[in-house]
Amino acid sequence: MEFVIRNAALPDGRTGIDIAVQHGRIAAVAPRLAVTAAREIDAGGDLVTPPFVDAHFHMDATLSYGLPRVNATGTLLEGIALWGELKPQLTQEALVERAMRYCDWAVARGLLAIRTHVDVCDDRLLAVEALLEVKRRVAPYLDMQLVAFPQDGLLRSPTALANLKRSIAMGVDVVGGIPHFERTMADGAESVRLLCEFAAAQGLMVDMHCDESDDPLSRHIETLAAETHRLGLHGRVAGSHLTSMHSMDNYYVSKLLPLIAESGVAAIANPLINITLQGRHDTYPKRRGMTRVPELMAAGVTVAFGHDCVMDPWYGMGSGDMLEVAHMGLHVAQMTSQQAMRACFAAVTDNPAKILGLEGYGLEPGCHADLVLLDAADPIEAIRLRAARRLVMRRGRIVAESPRAVARLDLPGRPSSADFRQLPPA
């Protein structure tokens, strides 16, 4: 064997597991494997997981914070206006440089698959060309899907539909939309219909910004689910944000949840950004804004958490750490039971991998040897600590390593070192 990780814990609760790797694939997963390898790593009981997956990001805007100025109000609409001011100043070289820098951050944190939206409302399609180039460059160590995103509105922007079709022809993977940003509710519904029909005709997936609003009457997710069902797009469509659901009345939601589940539409919440951008018009009580994650999961809907933004016109923070995203999602959704906390870990691993349709994802023999060894014993501890990534592997090759976090306490009466995860004695 080329590589063996010994004595690992797995997300499903198994412990004392060895993982053997050969030719970029997982060859065996079992306790005490009787194999030798060119290199062996003792996990020491720590957690080995498939890589983190970000189902919703904006890489064309990442690391542009402060250009051309800072978002003073912190609102979604000022962020959109700022991005509109920045677009004419964009260069392909700067877009590529910022995106490549972010991909380096991502890999170091075990984030090896990203679905990123790319604005197609600039007739030059500079951002599309730039991110297609980034996708090509990072392919050996990171899976990237591009979503054709009409940021200024499919019908509101005169050339958006033509540009979206051009971007798909250039190699963009997924059809996007933003119905709540159209001029009217009717236009929003029409944009959903047009985009879903185009995706169905082309055999493409759909990932639509949907109802990113505090308005409980913004109900485009209903149209998206209905069009998905009508066109037979089950399992190929995701609704991102869905924040208006946070403000909807319970009776309407009781009708909506089964419709979403029936259509096979997935939901992507973005905890860091939803808690930051939503509720800006409230005094008190102030809405949290994130969609109804526990209720969607209970209804059988596949739910993922996305990072959405890192240091851009909408959000001045972020680091590409999906454990930070899961940590925020857990708190905002009050998902504090053992089962719910584990579901938050799945929302940044297995669930987004399913939404993206990643081939060979997982920890079973035959899967790609894409692994992350965390400085934590289980998924809950990983979220609690935002655990260090001891090792990140891509196709059987180590692409990032860091030492275990150990406090050095060379003080009288104290041991020379201590594992900071251990609680002090009662």
Tokens of 227: 């069009």
Rounded CA separation 214/196 (Å): 25
Owner of token pair 């004419």:
88
Tokens of 38: 């060119």
Radius of gyration, alpha carbons of the chain: 22
Classify strands 52-57 and 111-119 as parallel, antiparallel or unpaired: parallel
Q: Alpha helices of 139-238 — where are they, by DSSP H?
A: 160-170, 185-202, 220-231
Phi, psi of 140 (to 5 degrees): -65, -25
Rounded CA separation 74/185 (Å): 25
Rounded CA separation 295/408 (Å): 44
Q: Alpha helices of 31-184 — where are they, by DSSP H?
A: 76-86, 92-108, 126-138, 160-170
Based on the residue annotation, tell me whether 364 is a catalytic residue of this protein: no
Distances from the Cα of 140 to the Cα of 228, 317, 395, angstroms: 33, 28, 9
Tokens of 216: 């409980």
- The whole-angstrom distance between residue 146's C-alpha and the CA centroid of its chain comes to 13
Tokens of 274: 């939803």
- 348: number of Cβ within 10 Å: 31
- 12: number of Cβ within 10 Å: 9
Rounded CA separation 410/391 (Å): 27
Rounded CA separation 17/33 (Å): 8
Yes or no: say if 380 and 342 are a contact pair by the CB < 8 Å rule. Answer: yes
Name the catalytic one among 78, 85, 93, 212. Answer: 212
DSSP 331-382: HHTT--SHHHHHHHHHTTTHHHHHHHT-TT-SSSTTSB--EEEESSSSHHHH
Rounded CA separation 234/225 (Å): 9
Annotated catalytic residues are 212
